[in-house]
A and B are shown apart, each in its own frame.
Chain A
């Protein structure tokens, strides 16, 4: 790795490949790895400790499972309770290769669909394992009492989701994420009661403690008292979610600010495929400067709604009902007559932005541009009747009306794409271990399973797969081999601090607060998110380059880094007061 920062922002990584997946047929790799991974006998587990940052599906599931196995777990979340983690907001469902519908689904088909949906840029060994354990997830969740939708016969119901031809999605109305998270949360609380898990709510991770190149703990701040604490363990797991909020407005929770991953990256953990961000086409547009976040509406709306903008920019502030048919541009139906309004997510998103960039967007102006397109149900209401539309989409229409104050049965909805999920993340090997030994990364925080695009209902699957079934089976190999304990013996952490000490961090926090770069952090986050991400000059996909730290051709995880084709004429400038890279690289 060179020490030089490229464009002052990132370092070039060495080519890196996974070495943990065993040789042999892909369908046998997970069985082999579970057998080859060393075991820790139950009496020794209570001498070992694991820190887990984040209590979403990946973090809570891992915490509960590791606690049940008898390890000492310290679990951290910044919310007031582990049940608040943003996995709770997932609506659609969770995929599993159960083939309960007898429609030809199989582990191999789920694997194939996921790899294909990710533009062949995910690591195939990891995806195959994900498909294999998917069925166990449903069994586990049902045993915990997750109230999945059922048919009258009492068996589980399934539906199909975008990009696949089988019905393999299990769901709990529009609140699947909530129900799965509450299941994992209850399992975690059970372990807290049993004393195997110590919960640290309202704690934010500030730094990863690395001793002699090995992750040994974290520095965290108690958000109530302000106290800065050091927590040490034999391994550290980051299950802290994605980085969608770097774009300022996203569908992520307000507090999901990617600090944990960022600190780990600054400590040397490689970051893979950072450009792979999923932009969801059907979100409620921004209504003004006051907006703090965006809200997603189910993509199913595109089944019956027709998307259009006015043909002429001067019509954009008219009442849409007064714009005659011939002055409307149903641009998806025009450009993609074969798919119409059901084009894939990325195409629908890109074209909506193009229409608005052309000045034909609708709705309130934000920064001088109207960012919205119409999603019109007038045809569907005429064809099916208002009642039928209400029974299909009633809850979504209600949500839209509550947020916008407009009645979508009478006026077309306005939608605009929003950042929704990040496929990229910290680089991990087959064992979910990052490039820092002892630092494991699970769920949306890692990079391996979705390639360039995540299929619907696969995020919940990956979070729970990593937390319940993958990590507990791979981390034991690291713990059993005792690398952390050996290094602990030779170098007690107190004598070899390679991190900024808690006192150093207190000083840093005080000076940050005293510096008052800007009146508050919000305008700062807004200007960075807008200029660096949303409104950056159009970027095009270049050939896979060595610029990203995650190139692993031999593992099948060819990375595609996104680079500008020509040098941008208006390079991104740091806002005044932006700390220099050297002040961050502690």
Chain B
């Protein structure tokens, strides 16, 4: 396949960036999107040019480290991660526009690499159950009804890639946050800290400069794990309860 790539190049966090066009030939349609970028980088290095910086690690769609905006869509045209997007989703001769996640709280570090540490700080604010090692009761001491366990699991599938923020016109991380609040709030172990959790996580979310949710649903459409929009309703309900009592 022959492709025309337009890629965001930015040298440093403070530097001014620009779109740069690269023509690339000999791309296998069996290669993944990131392997296509690997090939481009091989060619750039051979020419003595700076390779395009992008994030990736597991390359099997579970670690959440990769993610770029492809032709205006977070993770591109398929509902999967960038590493699991394959070039057969494109046609020979296509022009592909590649940009980093676009959101103020995710500043660009270089080219397509952004700083998502805001997500870690939201988890630090309360996205956990306080259970010191060694203090746990027997695992069967607290039965969890299957439907609660299944819903917690569904929400816990979030990989923290940030596509929801990149897709949201408001730059909101409500889907990410709602997923964690639903995961922990569905379980009996998560009840003691449930109110404090939602209050401090949402406060941290706003402090990071992430936007408010207006229920547009772009986040859930872009989510490679299909986290549903109702986790945001759960978060809002929990927040209301935390203020006014359950």
A292 within 8 A of B: yes
CB distance from B75 to the nearest CB of A (A): 13
User: In the assembly, what is the distance between CA of A182 and CA of B64, in Å?
Assistant: 12
User: In the assembly, what is the distance between CA of A288 and CA of B39, in Å?
Assistant: 12
A522 touches B59 (CB 8 A): no
User: In the assembly, what is the distance between CA of A469 and CA of B184, in Å?
Assistant: 24
What residues of A have a CB within 8 angstroms of the CB of B59 in the complex? 253-254, 292-293, 295
Within 8 A of A (CB), among B31-61: 31-32, 34-36, 38-39, 41-42, 45-46, 51, 55-60
B57 touches A254 (CB 8 A): yes
Within 8 A of B (CB), among A514-528: 519-520, 522
A254 touches B60 (CB 8 A): no
B11 within 8 A of A: no
What residues of A have a CB within 8 angstroms of the CB of B136 in the complex? 136, 139-140, 142-143
Most chain A CB within a 10 A radius of its CB, from B88, B131, B135, B138: B131
B82 within 8 A of A: no
Contact of B149 among A100, A150, A177, A187 (CB under 8 A): A150
Most chain B CB within a 10 A radius of its CB, from A86, A136, A153, A193: A193
Q: Number of A residues contacting the other chain (C-beta, 8 Å)?
A: 75
What residues of B have a CB within 8 angstroms of the CB of A140 in the complex? 131, 133-134, 136
Q: Assuming the A-B contacts A144-B128, A292-B35, A405-B88, are A80 and B58 also in contact, with contact meaning beta carbons closer than 8 angstroms in the complex?
A: no
User: In the assembly, what is the distance between CA of A201 and CA of B46, in Å?
Assistant: 30
Contact of A156 among B109, B129, B130, B139 (CB under 8 A): B139
CB distance from A471 to the nearest CB of B (A): 11
B131 touches A144 (CB 8 A): yes
What residues of A have a CB within 8 angstroms of the CB of B132 in the complex? 68
B42 touches A519 (CB 8 A): yes
Contact of A520 among B35, B41, B80 (CB under 8 A): B41
User: In the assembly, what is the distance between CA of A469 and CA of B136, in Å?
Assistant: 12
The contact string, 1 if C-beta is below 8 Å from chain A, for chain B 127-152, is 11111111111111011111001101
A72 within 8 A of B: no
What residues of B have a CB within 8 angstroms of the CB of A192 in the complex? 120, 124
Within 8 A of B (CB), among A273-315: 287-288, 290-293, 295-296
User: In the assembly, what is the distance between CA of A292 and CA of B31, in Å?
Assistant: 9
The contact string, 1 if C-beta is below 8 Å from chain B, for chain A 95-108, is 00010100000000
A149 within 8 A of B: yes
Within 8 A of A (CB), among B96-136: 109-110, 115-117, 119-120, 123-125, 127-136
Residue of A nearest to B39 (CB): A290
A178 touches B62 (CB 8 A): yes
B208 within 8 A of A: no
A4 within 8 A of B: no
Contact of A145 among B64, B115, B124, B129 (CB under 8 A): B129
Residue of B nearest to A182 (CB): B156
B189 within 8 A of A: yes
CB distance from B170 to the nearest CB of A (A): 23
A88 touches B42 (CB 8 A): no
A290 touches B38 (CB 8 A): yes
B57 touches A255 (CB 8 A): yes
A147 touches B153 (CB 8 A): yes
Q: Assuming the A-B contacts A80-B117, A182-B156, A290-B28, are A100 and B140 also in contact, with contact meaning beta carbons closer than 8 angstroms in the complex?
A: yes
B139 touches A138 (CB 8 A): yes
What residues of A have a CB within 8 angstroms of the CB of B65 in the complex? 79-81, 84
B30 touches A179 (CB 8 A): no
User: In the assembly, what is the distance between CA of A199 and CA of B119, in Å?
Assistant: 14
B77 within 8 A of A: no
What residues of A have a CB within 8 angstroms of the CB of B28 in the complex? 287-288, 290
CB distance from B62 to the nearest CB of A (A): 5
B153 touches A253 (CB 8 A): no
B60 touches A295 (CB 8 A): yes
User: In the assembly, what is the distance between CA of A81 and CA of B58, in Å?
Assistant: 13
CB distance from B82 to the nearest CB of A (A): 13
A80 touches B137 (CB 8 A): no
The contact string, 1 if C-beta is below 8 Å from chain A, for chain B 145-186, is 110011011001101100000000000000000000001100
Q: Assuming the A-B contacts A81-B120, A151-B146, A402-B84, are A139 and B63 also in contact, with contact meaning beta carbons closer than 8 angstroms in the complex?
A: no
5 contacts between A and B (CB under 8 A): A68-B132, A143-B136, A150-B144, A179-B153, A254-B58
Q: Taking beta carbons and an 8 Å cutoff, which residues of A are in contact with B?
A: 61, 64-65, 68, 79-86, 88-89, 98, 100, 136, 138-145, 147-156, 172-173, 175, 177-179, 182, 185-187, 189-190, 192-193, 199, 201, 224, 251, 253-255, 287-288, 290-293, 295-296, 364, 402-405, 468-469, 472, 519-520, 522
A81-B120, A192-B124 provided; 12 other pairs, C-beta below 8 A?
A: A83-B63, A143-B129, A144-B189, A148-B149, A152-B146, A172-B153, A178-B159, A292-B32, A293-B59, A402-B84, A405-B30, A519-B42
The 4 nearest A-B residue pairs measured at CB: A154-B143, A143-B136, A186-B128, A143-B131
